[in-house]
Chain A
Amino acid sequence: MKRIDLTKMKEGERGIVVELSGGCGLLSRLSALGIREGTEIKKVSSQLMRGPVIIQVGNTQIAIGFGMARKIIVEKKKSISRE
């Protein structure tokens, strides 16, 4: 199982959040939107040139700035795409 940050995931890949390496402010903002350790997420897309990353958590899509996205570490799931 590879641990990578959000920005390195590919579009459509799924993963489980294993680490949030930011401060308390970041943690509470992420937590309020339902992103915490153990949350399953899917990367929807990313904008060009270190732009925001868009992920799906449950039924919500969230855009996260590049710097913030780098602090979210996920463990990639084997890609069984069920689209």
Chain B
Amino acid sequence: MKKILLFGNPNVGKSVIFSRLTGTSVIAANYPGTTVEFTKGYIRLNGEKVEVIDVPGTYTLEPTTTAEEVAVKILDSAIKEKESVALQVIDATNLERNLYLTLQLLTRDIPLLIALNLWDEARHIGITIDYKKLEELLGIPVVPTVAITGEGIRELKERIKSARKGKCKITERWPEIGRIISEVQKVSHRHHTLLEKLGDSTIRPATGLPLALLFLYLTFLFVRLISEGLITYIFDPLFNKFYLPFLIRIFQPLPQFLSEILLGKTAEPLAGFGLFTTGLYIPFVIVLPYLFAFYLILSFWEDIGYLPRLATLLDTFLHRLGVHGYSSIPLILGLGCKVPAVLATRILETKREKIITSALILMSAPCLPQSAMIVSLIAPYGTKFLLLVFGLLFSLSLITSLFLSRLLKGETPELFLEIPPYRRPYLSTLFAKVGLRLSSFIKEAIPLIIAGLFLIGLLELLGVMAFLGEFLGKPVVYLLGLPKNSIGVIMTGFLRKDVSIGLLFPLGLTLKQKIISSIFLTLYLPCLSTLFILTRELTLKEMIKIVAIQFLFGLSIGGLLNLIL
């Protein structure tokens, strides 16, 4: 046997079955030419190592989305290679709908077996399924499982080898499904459970929107607590107390030119532009803890099933801006940190949505640490000035996205998604997911950030940066009415945007200058890490367009404020 393909509708617990079968060593891969991700792992069957593929969730083999297209392609290539087995994970509480995919799989030239998952939940809500009878009718093994507790997994493993191909071609699927259902399933009457009532309240606008705000607030509270704790008490001390002195001892004897490139001009990790100092400090000490905290809570909301509800709640509003309800997830991440937000635009189907969403992410608000800095800079003058800054940023981003959605052709597809019942998350799948996401960031983003810093360091040494500061910086600060010494701050902002705001404190700016510089420093450029991620998710050309729009808007609104305030 070569491969086991895990098929199933979304939200049936497929990933949990997958991690039950494969254990730890799991790899995430992008399907060539798409941004659809799937995971691979291995299982030992009778001493043989067999690859297991967690195929993207699909409702049908007649694809309607990119993810479904990928699922079909994976199936086709496995059939061509022969010696593979398909395992469909079925949600026992939704047998009828899930059988639609089963009947399609049965017509394909691949042995099939079924895991009848969420078996406990089905029983709990009064559904009894005669799985022996189902096995007989379909002619393939059917194993009841409760993936979360591990019930039935052993039997499932044992029966993988007895998977069988379907015998007949079925053209009229639904009548056939109706016949099967009437023979194997009994449903007893039941009451609405409290959990379902609570579930419904998170999707009704009157209760759902306030609850969404509350969840959002809790999310950010959690992220700040975790990430800032990690930075202050673990990552930063480790870097400064152990790593840096060690590094200096090793590289100090080098000629000045080399040590400046490797360690930076000063040992201060945020000012030196050194490859081994700034180049590692930014991704590991500053970005990674935020990513960890964000991915942790995002995966939690994802696994309990909240995200589709959020997408539905915000869909109306987002559609006006030319994007889809799905964009709500990257947008909300963007309030915290732009890096995971831009990475999350992968879930969007069209290029158009990706571009508009990216622009919204970058412009609608500063990232969380920068917001905190702006608050401490402006709040002493009163809340109304804070509202001015954040309100201006937000309305500007709305204008930009309206502008972009007129500019870019194409329609925003309508929302159509399943809203799964709330479910208890399975911790080991959750942590595996966080781990996968973090490792893909480390593998893909960190080399880019280091390469970028190398380039900047080189330009600095060649005097190009000073030249840019002189010829670009001067007109900019003139237009904005800022003092000359803020040029340096603007250059630093590229590395770390919250610090750039912090550096404004000692400059002795007036309130007007503070407002203008807060807005300008939020808009003018994304931070280095975001810039590179953006380039990778879109193309270089699209990145330049978005950043140019951002810069022009930042400069013109700043200049305008300088004139009218």
Residues of chain A at the chain B interface (Cβ within 8 Å): 11, 25, 28-29, 31-34, 36, 44-45, 47-52, 54, 57-68, 82-83
Contacts and interface: CB of A to CB of B under 8 A. Distances in A.
B384 interface: no
- Nearest 4 CB-CB pairings of A with B: A65-B414, A51-B316, A32-B59, A34-B97
Given A33-B418, A48-B316, A63 B308 contact: yes
A68 B414 contact: yes
A64 to B, nearest CB: 6
A31 to B, nearest CB: 8
A68 B416 contact: yes
Contacts of B419: 54, 60-63
B312 A67 contact: no
Interface stretch (B40-48, B200-208, B220-228): B200-208
Given A44-B203, A47-B315, A63 B93 contact: no
Q: Which of B127, B313, B316 has the most CB of A within 10 A?
A: B316
A51 to B, nearest CB: 3
Contacts of B316: 47-52
A36 B96 CA distance: 13
Interface in B285-335: 308, 311-313, 315-316, 319, 325
A28 B60 contact: yes
A63 B312 contact: yes
A18 to B, nearest CB: 16
Given A47-B205, A47-B312, A48-B316, A62 B414 contact: no
Nearest to A83: B192
B539 interface: no
Contacts of B204: 11, 45
B107 interface: no
- Size class of the contact patch on chain B: 35 or more
Given A44-B200, A47-B315, A52 B415 contact: yes
Given A45-B200, A45-B205, A54-B312, A59 B418 contact: no
B319 to A, nearest CB: 8
Given A28-B60, A33-B59, A64 B416 contact: yes
B417 interface: yes
A65 to B, nearest CB: 3
A64 B415 contact: yes
A52 B420 CA distance: 16
Interface string B80-121: 000000000000011011001100000000000000000000
B62 interface: yes
Contacts of A51: 205, 312, 315-316
Nearest to A66: B414
B64 interface: yes
Contacts of B200: 44-45
A57 B97 CA distance: 9
A34 B315 CA distance: 23
A52 B312 CA distance: 7
Nearest to B309: A63
Interface string B418-440: 11110000000000000000000
A29 B93 contact: no
Contacts of A58: 94, 96-97
Given A47-B316, A52-B415, A28 B62 contact: yes
Contacts of A34: 94, 96-97, 100
Nearest to A30: B416
Contacts of A54: 203, 312, 419
Nearest to A68: B414
A32 B60 contact: yes
